[in-house]
Amino acid sequence: MKIKMHSIDGKWKRYTLLNDNNMSIRFLDFGGCITEINVPDRNQHIQNVVLGYKNYQDYENNTNFLGTIIGRVAGRIKDASFTLNNQTYMIEANNNSHHLHGGSKGFHQIIWKTKPFQTENTVGVTLTHRSHEGEGGYPGTMDVSVTYTLNNKNELIIDYLAKSNKTTAFTLTNHSYFNLTGNLASPIHNHVVTIDSDTFVELNAELIPTGKKLHVENTPFDFRSGRKIADGINSTYSQNLIANHGYDHYFILNHIKQDDICIIDETSGRKLTIKTSQPGVVLYTANSSIENLELEKGRSKQHLGICLETQASPASLHHEGFPTIILEAHETYEKQTVYTFGIEE
C-alpha cells in the first residue's frame, strides 16, 4: 500500500492511492475531484475507468462536475428555493430557473483541507471543509468531511460525515463518470447495469421531479435483472426522450440484494459493484453538455460515461413520500458508498 502527494502548479494537491494489486486512484484536493481510477481487465491490463480532463486547469470550470464531491445538495432543487420551519430560502438558480449540485460555488469548487492516513491494509485521505452560514444561500454553518479509502479488496470506500448548527437541506454524492471499457475505448452503450430498484421518479421537460413515482415494470427503467444502457438510449419511451436519449433519473433502492448496483463491461470483463447506505441513486448517462471536452484519452462525446449518484432526493423539499434531505440541527449526517472493482467470471 502506498500514498503519494504531488503539487499541481503550487496551488493544488494531487493524491495517488495505490494498493498491493496495482489498483490506483488519483484525486485533487480541489473539489475532491477523482481524476483516475486504474484497474485491470480480464487480461490484467490496467487502465483508467473514469472520465478526467487532460489539463487540470479545466477542473476550475468543471460544469460537468467530472469526479467531484457534490454539495451542499446533490441534484436539482425546483425553482431554486425551499422552505424550512416556515422560512423560505432562495438559493442560486444555476440551471435555468433551478438550482443544481450546490450552485456554481458548491463543494466542487473549493480546496478541501486534507489529512492522509495509512494502515496495514488501507490507504486514504480525509478531506474536510467548514461551510459557513449563508454559503450558497443555505442555512447553518456545517463541518463536513469526506474520506476516500482504498484497500486490497479493490474497494474504494467513500465515507461522508457532517453536522450543522441549524436545520438545513443536505445530501452529498460523488459525480464520477465511469467507463469500464478502459481509456475510453468506446461509449457506454453496451454496459450492462443492474439496479435493485422497483421505482424511479418521473421528470418533467426541465428534468425536475413531478412528484410521481413510477414502477419500472415493462419500461427501459427495469434494471432489476440487468440491461444494457443502449436500451434507454435507443428507446422512444417518453422519460428517456425527456433526458435527451438516456437516463437522468432517481431510483429508490430496495436494499435487498447483496449489491445495490452492478455494472459490467463484457468486452473488457471489468465489473463494478456498488453498496451504499444512501436511500437511492441518480443514474445519469452523459446525455448532453459533455461533448468535445479535452479528456485525458481524447475528446469527449455523448454517452461516454455513466454516473451513479448515490444520495437522498431533493424532490423531498417539494413533494411528500421521497427520501428526505432535511438534516436537523446538531444531527450527524453519516453515509457510506463502497465501489468494488473486479472481473466478471
DSSP 212-242: EEEE-TTSTT--TT-EETHHHHT---HHHHH
pLDDT at 281: 98
DSSP class of residue 166 equals S
The rounded distance, in Å, linking the Cα atoms of 168 and 78 is 16
| Average of per-residue pLDDT across 46-71 | 95
Nearest to 291 by CA among 111, 133, 61, 64: 64
Q: pLDDT digits over 2-22, tens only?
A: 999 999 999 999 999 999 999
Question: Given pLDDT bands bounded at 50, 70 and 90, which one contains residue 297?
Answer: confident
Look at residues 341, 314, 340, 338 and name the one whose alpha carbon lies nearest to residue 160. Answer: 338
- The Cα 322–Cα 208 span in angstroms is 14
Report which DSSP code applies to 331: P
Q: Hey, what CATH topology would domain 2-343 get?
A: Beta-galactosidase; Chain A, domain 5 (2.70.98)
Average pLDDT over residues 61-86: 96
Share of the chain above pLDDT 70, in %: 100
Q: Residue 231: phi, psi to the nearest 5?
A: -60, -40
For residue 266, CA distances in Å to 225, 263, 343 come to 16, 10, 10
Q: How far apart are CA 197 and CA 190, in angstroms?
A: 20
Query: Does residue 175 contact residue 67 with C-beta atoms inside 8 Å?
Result: yes
Run of H or E residues at 311: strand 306-311
Angle at 73 between CA 335 and CA 197, to 5 degrees: 60
Q: Looking at the annotation, which residues are catalytic?
A: 175, 309
pLDDT number for residue 305 = 96
pLDDT at 108 over 80: yes
Do 73 and 325 form a contact (C-beta atoms < 8 A)? yes
Integer Cα distance of 85 and 186 in angstroms: 49
Would you list the domain boundaries of the chain? 2-343
For residue 291, what is the DSSP state? Answer: T
Instruction: Return the pLDDT at 149.
Output: 98
| Rounded distance between C-alpha atoms, residue 220 and residue 229, angstroms | 9
Query: 303 falls in which pLDDT band (50, 70, 90)?
Result: very high
CB atoms within 10 A of CB 331: 13
Average pLDDT, integer, range 85-111:
96
Q: Compute how many other C-beta atoms are within 10 angstroms of the C-beta atom of residue 296.
A: 15
Arithmetic mean of pLDDT, 270-288: 97
Q: Please, what is the Cα angle at 324 between 78 and 314, to 5 degrees?
A: 20
Angle at 329 between CA 324 and CA 330, to 5 degrees: 115
